[in-house]
Structure 1
């Protein structure tokens, strides 16, 4: 059956400019790090992508090694592009990354020009695309001069294989250095993808300030702490959960009693706000508009619908923010990122 997206797809989704650029991203973006691999069913992946786009999510986030097996998430999305989304290519922001191990030998990972550009060519082939909208350096590589990694990003844009570039998992100092290099090269950094949630707040400790001073956007990955900031683990570890399945993204040891107790307290506050815990956690991540977008993952379309509903109640009182910080045991930066 031919896919026709909802005509109302742009009526409710909110979009924000990424830093000082002219590009606007949806406040919620879909991450394809799980449920789009070769071990997953294509029809479920299709249902997730379709529902996301129907709700105004135009940004789909990939990496060369997403799967499992590595590379298969890009292959799956390539199939979906051909069968469903190619007529809407100009409405989509498609991102991919290079940096983590992808193939055997010394060039299958990290930040050399050889590795970065070879990886991008492989990604484009799997996706069946001439270009991606955003190409990231997935991690800082201490064994490669930062100038070389940034020059590879610049070259990808000049070759027409990417429209914008980004970095991910760089600390504040290396981020500042990378931004300066890219600016000199003439290809400014669009966005930084950082691990950020109520349980992971390193973005607040200097990095967000560097990004704002540099006119660079930010996108938070794992804003739901890989499921810990949802209703899923409040009482036990469900048999069908990622934690129980041996996922590399969440292991039973990651689910500590301390975190569960905090999640239960946060859940109580969310209920008082008339939200699910996941909705409150996403709204908190996007509070004050300093984070451009939050990456969500889903195993069924209803989860995407629930997440998008968070945008309808995204304001917090100062009292609520204070309560959240008291629950988390972190009273610094309570007024924002």
Structure 2
């Protein structure tokens, strides 16, 4: 698998990343192990999790696989902090206390001595930004974190954070945001801001929360996230008439190329300007293997242009967090 520079940092990551939000929910430890091995064997290196995924169980599962199922040094471990974990005094937010407490918890669950990429999960307007960035600097200086980034920031939030981070010794390396054929609002402000500040873009939900696979075209499969009581709204966000037109175009392109709609949708976002890696959130190892097949797909310019056209949007609002 192709390895790409993460923005202007020295870190190189695989252009497809393994997301673990389902680990501990629809994916048990055995399935997670199969996914991690398949991903590593395909040349994948970047594995993304968060301290709030299944109340930390996602990190716990990953920690049990590192050094046992795959060597720790084969994997770039990325996790996040700052979202609500519990109601205690250090259970949420981007204060120094909350972040450093969250970092220690992630290290314990992941069973590692450092995190390769530590990301602010969301913007916290209640904490002075300098305090937040000082905490990131402390984490790096302690040796517990190698690189830092942010997630789910709007354009102005990203630009403000990236600018101020230059006053510390630890500049941002990445931004994680939703980006797909059905969610392109990041292109209006977020992508240009990331490019200006030299940040690598990590695209989450590159398959439009599953909609771009076509599985929801006529029904909702019983074993899908769309049928799960806790995830139905997450999927329904992109079940629109506009999305239906885009899905049809993706299917047409897939038929012409002799590949899957999943591979077409992934190849499109994977090769967008500024994207360092597209984060795959597979539920099963079979789904992941199908997604990894997109590595061999290069979209011809005519198909690229057709998909650009059918998915174009003038919406200037922020991408949903």
Do the two structures share a fold, i.e. TM-score over 0.5?
Answer: yes
Does residue 62 (structure 1) correspond to residue 59 (structure 2)? The answer is: no
Say whether residues 1:46 and 2:33 are aligned partners.
yes
Structure number with higher relative contact order (C-alpha < 8 Å, ≥ 6 residues apart):
2
Q: Give the drift of 1:311.
A: 2.1
Q: Tell me whether 1:286 sits opposite 2:286 in the alignment.
A: no
From 290, 305, 308, the counterpart of 2:292 = 308
Residues 225 and 235, structure 2, Cα contact 8 Å, conserved in 1: no
Report the Cα distance in structure 1 between the residues aligned to 2:242 and 2:273, rounded to whole angstroms: 29
Cα distance, 1:258 vs structure 2: 4.3
Deviations 1:40-88 (A, max 9, x none): 4221111111111111111110100012xx1100111111124323xx2
2:306 counterpart residue number: 323
Corresponding residue number in structure 2 for 1:6: none
Alpha-carbon distance in 1 for matches of 2:288, 2:88: 38
Q: Tell me which of 68, 81, 91 is aligned to 1:83.
A: 68
Partner of 2:163, secondary structure, is helix
How many residues are paired up? 314
Are the structure 2 counterparts of residues 302 and 39 from structure 1 closer, same or farther at C-alpha, using a change threshold of 3 Å?
closer
Q: Which runs of 5+ in 1 are unaligned?
A: 1-12, 333-337
Q: In 2, are the aligned partners of 1:325 and 1:331 still within 8 Å (CA)?
A: no
Mapped partners of 1:331, 1:315: distance in 2 = 24
1:236 partner SS: coil
Task: Show the counterpart of 1:104.
Answer: 87
Q: How does 1:223-234 map to 2 (within 5 A)?
A: 223-234=206-217
Aligned to 1:8: none
Q: Which residue of 1 aligns with 2:14?
A: 26
Contact 1:140-1:170 at 8 Å conserved across structures: yes
CA-atom RMSD, angstroms? 1.9
Contact in 2 for aligned 1:244/1:252 (Cα 8 Å): no
Distance in 2 separating the partners of 1:175 and 1:249? 29
> Which TM-score applies when normalising by structure 2?
0.92
Shift of 1:175: 1.1
Cα deviation 1:104-158 (Å, max 9, x = unaligned)? 2343111111111100101111111111101111101111111111111111101
Q: Which residue of 1 aligns with 2:24?
A: 37
| Partner in structure 1 of residue 145 of structure 2 | 162
Q: Contact conserved, 1:133 with 1:164, CA < 8 A, in 2?
A: yes
Give, in whole Å, the separation in 2 of the partners of 1:250 and 1:26.
Answer: 30
CA distance in 1, matches of 2:50, 2:235: 25
TM-score, normalised to structure 1, is 0.88
- 1:196 corresponds to: 179
Deviation per residue, 1:23-42 (Å, 9 max, x gap):
111010000011x1167422
> Contact 2:78/2:117 (CA < 8 Å) preserved in 1?
yes
Q: Tell me, which stretches of 5 or more residues in structure 2 are unaligned?
A: 316-321
Shift of 1:259: 2.4
Pairing 1:180–2:168 present: no
Conservation of the 8 A alpha-carbon contact between 2:45 and 2:76: yes
